[in-house]
Structure 1
Amino acid sequence: MTGEGSHDFARARRILKTDEFSSVFRLRPAQKSAHFVLYTRPSPLPHARLGIVAAKRFAPRAVTRNTIKRITRELFRTNEIQAVDCIIRLARPVNTKAGPATNSALKRLLHAELSRLLASQRPRRPAGPAPAPLIS
């Protein structure tokens, strides 16, 4: 997709520059899971942006790192996220050179973990009394 809609991953929705990554990393982690750490910072833009860090030491095979990035981008595009700069960093090994690069169990595990992390960044609903039911 090439538009600026809510379900794209255009260049404007990516964190690309080193100083942008650094400014988010300076803050404390927002949330952690078994393999990932999520860093967030309020975005100066009206939409969320995403950065992904998948180090070779935690995912030795390129196919695994690419799978992590693909799943993360897909979840970012399809979930409604408040206007924050998010960085998802792989923090623990997901497999070894001897193990399978990717399989359906690994993909399900990664998908579930990343879904939980990104769900924490959904826009907050205003707290208040529930709207009264319409009576006709």
Structure 2
Amino acid sequence: MPAPTRRFQPAQRLRHKSEFDRVYRDSRRSTDACFAILTRNSGGSIPRLGLSIAARIIGNAVRRNRIKRLVRESFRQHQHELPAVDIVVNARSGARDADNAVIVRSLEKHWRTVVKQCAP
């Protein structure tokens, strides 16, 4: 049997302001020095990801894009474990100078928290 796909599909992205606002308005939170993760049950069948990586917090485009790539890749690898929730990842100042390993460990901790908080 073929392995389940682990692609990051366009349907797995939060795109519209109204989708982000819904998560901000009614969400569960998980925070540390690098990220604030907000989750809300979506009622859909797959987890969806939205990124909020502010220039005033992280800095230039190179730093922001590196963090976005790491978050997307971590989400892609863990999506099969996550419940059907909408997730917004806000970068915090600790992520600015953190190396890749610290960011990946932080995200793995957050994904485990999401699974615990949103388990059916």
- Does the CA-based 8 Å contact 1:13-1:50 persist in structure 2? yes
More helix by share: 2
Task: Give the CA deviation at 1:73.
Answer: 0.8
Q: Which has the larger radius of gyration?
A: 1
Q: CA-to-partner distance for each residue in 1:90-130, whole Å, 9 max, x for gaps? A: 1325347xxxxxxxx6111111111111122237889xxxx
Q: Distance in 2 between matches of 1:10 and 1:125?
A: 23
Q: Which amino acid aligns with 1:9?
A: F
Q: Distance in 2 between matches of 1:117 and 1:76?
A: 10
Unaligned runs of 5+ in 1: 97-104, 127-136
Task: Give the CA deviation at 1:37.
Answer: 0.4
What's the counterpart of residue 82 of structure 2?
Answer: 81
Q: CA-to-partner distance for each residue in 1:49-84, whole Å, 9 max, x for gaps? A: 000110001111211111111111111111121110
Alignment of 1:58-73 (within 5 A): 58-73=57-72
Q: CA-to-partner distance for each residue in 1:9-35, whole Å, 9 max, x for gaps? A: 111100000000000011244210112
Alignment of 1:24-35 (within 5 A): 24-35=23-34
Count of paired positions? 114
| Percent of pairs with identical residues | 31
Cα gap change, 1:59/1:125 in structure 2, threshold over 3 Å: closer, same or farther? closer
Cα gap change, 1:121/1:95 in structure 2, threshold over 3 Å: closer, same or farther? closer
What secondary structure, in the 3-state scheme, does the structure 1 residue paired with 2:95 have? coil
Q: Which amino acid aligns with 1:24?
A: V
Q: Distance in 2 between matches of 1:58 and 1:94?
A: 9
What's the counterpart of residue 107 of structure 2?
Answer: 114
Aligned alpha-carbon RMSD (Å) = 2.2
Unaligned runs of 5+ in 2: none
TM-score of the pair, normalised by structure 2: 0.83
- Does the CA-based 8 Å contact 1:59-1:95 persist in structure 2? yes
